Structure 1
Amino acid sequence: MKPAAHASAAIEILTDLEAKKRPVADALKDWGLTHRFAGSKDRAQIASLIYDVLRKRSSLGFRMGAETPRALVLGALAFTRGISADDLAAQFADSPHAPDALSDAERKALNSSTLEGAPAFVRGDYPQWLDAHLQRIFGEDRADEGAALSERAPLDLRVNLLKGTREEALAELSHLHPEPTPHSPLGIRIPLLADGRGPPVQSEPAFLKGLVEVQDEGSQIASLIAQAKPGEQVIDLCAGGGGKTLALSAGMENKGQIFAHDRDLRRLAPLHERAERAGVRNLQIRSPRGKEDVLKDLEGKADLVLVDAPCTGAGTWRRNPDAKWRMRPGSLEIRQKEQDAVLGDAARLVKPGGRLVYITCSLLAEENEDRLQAFRAAHPGFRPVPIREALSAAGLGALDPYANADGSGLLLTPRRSGTDGFFVAVLRQ
């Protein structure tokens, strides 16, 4: 398939998304099943173009004067990928499967439109209803923060110290031109390919033997702040696929015990294989069993409870750009209730003198500071640990500038720290 045919396919899939309001991964899968002539490289190119559209849908639509699938694809090709109107016209004329020829209005938009006069939510490429929420955190910088969340995300790896050192991992992956991440002492950043995708690192020997795991630098930092120590009793209460579980276990040097739990049994499934590959030996997976309290025997015994809470995922829009456009006010309210519930569940597991680490991949105060304030009102025995104190203890004092306004938590964002968006706070019993 030629690039013009990729553009036609992207327009078709975006039209389907607009009509059915479903996740982009589902639309891409269905398109591939009905267009089997398209090879894997073609499907990857089409997906990359669609994600470029979704990252910047509002600003592309503003500049093009329309948010139709065609206008958005043309805008992404011109404003994100730097293809001129003349080159687009030539590509379209050269392919029988290309979109229709450019109109005069489209040429004018591609050649001369800007974002001058656009409101913050357009310049920042986020839903209008979120503007007040982001203004509360970022003020006049909210458009710039949103724009950073609409860029392509880097590919970060975490070195598994149970299997080797960062120097060894850098050497093994040298053909991918890796660099140490700027903040995490365990991180490696791999350059993206020209189309915005990462190389297939999960097929690399370094990954297959457990020396590295795919994990954003922000997630690595959150795990380091938790300071899981050898010999401790640790509970990862919302473990999901286990990325932070594995990071905590490595910090514990396989000494002590780490318990991984998640309310969704399906999310825990990958952890079994991942733990084996990583060489983790101090892990117990506590899978849900109906209404049974599978953590009851751990009440008041944990040195550390990590709560990587369910959230709106507003900090991960670089990786999941369709999620921001499907997000609704009602989903924020649901997540707040879930966060209160999981924090309450965590409180009963922390032993006197133990600590609770609260993490979200959200930037919204309603999911972060507000939830901690509500938790402390209900559990006055917990006191916040100043985040700069926690950073110093973890050897991450250079991250002090990213503390939130009152110093109670760390707020990472793509614009500030070059990571996904994360909020991290530490409380002690």
Structure 2
Amino acid sequence: MTPAARAAAAIAILDGILAGQAAEAALIRWARASRFAGSGDRAAVRDLVFDALRRRRSRAALGGALSGRGLLLGLCREEGADPATLFTGEGHGPPALSAAELAAGRAPTPAEALDLPDWLLPLWHEALGAAAEPVALAMRDRAPVWLRVNLRRADPARAAAALAEEGIATVAHAELPTALRVSEGARRLSGCRAYREGLVELQDLSPQLACALLPEQGSLLDFCAGGGGKALAMAARGAGPITAHDIDAGRMADLPARAERAGVRIRLAAPGKVAGRFDTVLADVPCSGSGTWRRSPEAKWRLTPEALRRLLSVQGGILDQAAGFVAPGGYLAYMTCSVLSAENQGQAHAFLARNPGFEPVAERRFTPLEASDGFYLALMRRR
């Protein structure tokens, strides 16, 4: 596909997303209908779509319209490229720009330049203070790819060497050597031997740093396990026995295969069927995902005040429920992939206020400025 044809595909996909389609579903639908598109074409179109969603407000201002064409025109103007190179009006490229389109567009306002919804800006500034604008701007860029070295299978040096053999270059984190940032060859990961044999797992730096703050030994319940990444990380560090639970069992469907590949044992509990007490209970609750909007940029445009209020109610309920499984002297780890205070400190502090049998141990918030994704951990102990 030519650059112009890729732009035309991105425009059509973006128009579908703006009309209400989920981004992943729209991309899959296009790929299935476009058998002529090779893997490089699909990756390039995906990048165009996700980059446009990350910078939706600013590029719509630059391009003069909140539409697929407006967003791609905004891209050209942002990068100082000649729009005629994409809007060719020839072959499979987009139709040439009209006089009205060429005349439209302006510099984004300071609020638009942050690429966040207006209603969210006060909450963003309240939560992040002086870091609010730098974090918002960081969310406009693609997130790095991080791997976790599985110490059950390899040490960091061996894992890095195995990856390098297949053209995947990595850089170890200065404070957490088991965290490897992929600097080259990220798209080769799913098929590489180091991944297939369980030497490494995909996991962002921020949750890796958070898991490193948890007790390494003792029984553990991952109460909202999802795909089980944190349960796998804790198993690799020596915790156990480990039980994984999620109210939607389908989210854990791949966990047995992942655990076998990693060389660890994780017991799955049926939804609502957890029993007993645990030395550590991990509750990574449903949240706004505001810390991961570099990876899922459409989510920041779909979040509403009403949806956030519902999430806050769910989070408090899960936290109270998870606390019931903490053994005397055990730990409760409350986690979110959010940077918003109401979901983070607000929930943890409210829990401690209504549960005097728990005491705070540690509290950390991570942002793209010092880690990778936005992430929060409150570690509490039952007295």
Does structure 1 conserve the Cα–Cα contact (< 8 Å) formed by 2:225 and 2:231? Answer: yes
Give the residue type in structure 1 aligned to 2:84. Answer: A
Question: What are the superposed Cα offsets for residues 30-79 of structure 1, whole Å, 9 maximum, x if unpaired?
Answer: 22233333333322211110001000001112223322220101222442
**1:318 and 1:91 mapped to 2: Cα distance?**
25
Match of 1:359 in 2: 335
State the secondary structure of the residue aligned to 1:248.
helix
Count of equivalent residues: 380
Checking the alignment, whether the CA contact within 8 Å between 1:259 and 1:286 is kept in structure 2 is yes
Q: d(CA) in 2 for partners of 1:334 and 1:18?
A: 24
Q: Secondary structure in 2 aligned to 1:189?
A: strand
Q: CA deviation at 1:333?
A: 1.3
Rounded to whole Å, the distance in 2 between the matches of 1:124 and 1:93 is 31
**Quick check: 1:261 aligned with 2:245?**
yes
Q: Give matches, 1:317-328, under 5 Å.
A: 317-328=293-304
Question: Residue 288 of structure 2 corresponds to which residue in structure 1?
Answer: 312
Deviates most, 376-385 or 94-103: 94-103
The corresponding residue for 1:368 is 344
In structure 1, the gaps of 5 or more residues are 388-408
Following the alignment from structure 2 to structure 1, what is the Cα–Cα distance between the partners of residues 169 and 31?
A: 32
Q: Which residue of 1 aligns with 2:269?
A: 286
Distance 1:77 1:210, change over 3 A: farther
Deviations 1:320-360 (A, max 9, x none): 00111111112111211111111111111111111111110
**Correspondence for 1:119 among 110, 113, 119:** 110
Alignment of 1:14-163 (within 5 A): 14-19=14-19, 21-79=20-78, 82=79, 84-85=81-82, 88-93=83-88, 95-103=90-98, 114-115=107-108, 118-120=109-111, 122-163=112-153
Partners of 2:14 and 2:254 in 1: how far apart? 31
The whole-number CA distance in structure 2 between the counterparts of 1:346 and 1:104 is 60
Q: Deviations over 1:58-102 (max 9, x none)?
A: 1112223322220101222442xx3611xx424544841212224
Q: Does 1:7 align with 2:2?
A: no
**C-alpha distance in 1 between matches for 2:160 and 2:126:** 41
- Contact 1:155 1:192 survives alignment (8 Å): no
Work out the CA distance in 1 between the residues paired with 2:180 and 2:214: 20
| 3-state SS in 2 of match to 1:191 | strand
Question: Runs ≥4 in structure 1, deviation > 6 angstroms?
Answer: none
- Alignment pair present for 1:238 and 2:224: yes
Q: What is the TM-score of this pair, normalised by structure 1?
A: 0.84
1:242 shift after superposition? 0.6
- Alpha-carbon separation, structure 2, partners of 1:6 and 1:192: 23
Q: Which of the numbers 285, 296, 308 marks the counterpart of 1:332?
A: 308
- 1:202-230 per-residue CA deviation (whole Å, 9 max, x = no partner) reads 2111111100000000111111111221x
Would the alpha carbon gap of residues 183 and 73 (structure 1) be closer, same or farther in structure 2, given more than 3 Å must change? farther
Structure 2 residue runs without a partner (length 5+): none
Q: Output the aligned Cα RMSD.
A: 2.0
What is the CA–CA distance in structure 1 between the aligned matches of 2:104 and 2:141, rounded to whole Å?
Answer: 22
Residue 333 of structure 2 aligns to a residue in which SS?
strand
Structure-2 separation of matches of 1:277 and 1:332: 37
Aligned counterpart, 1:177: 169
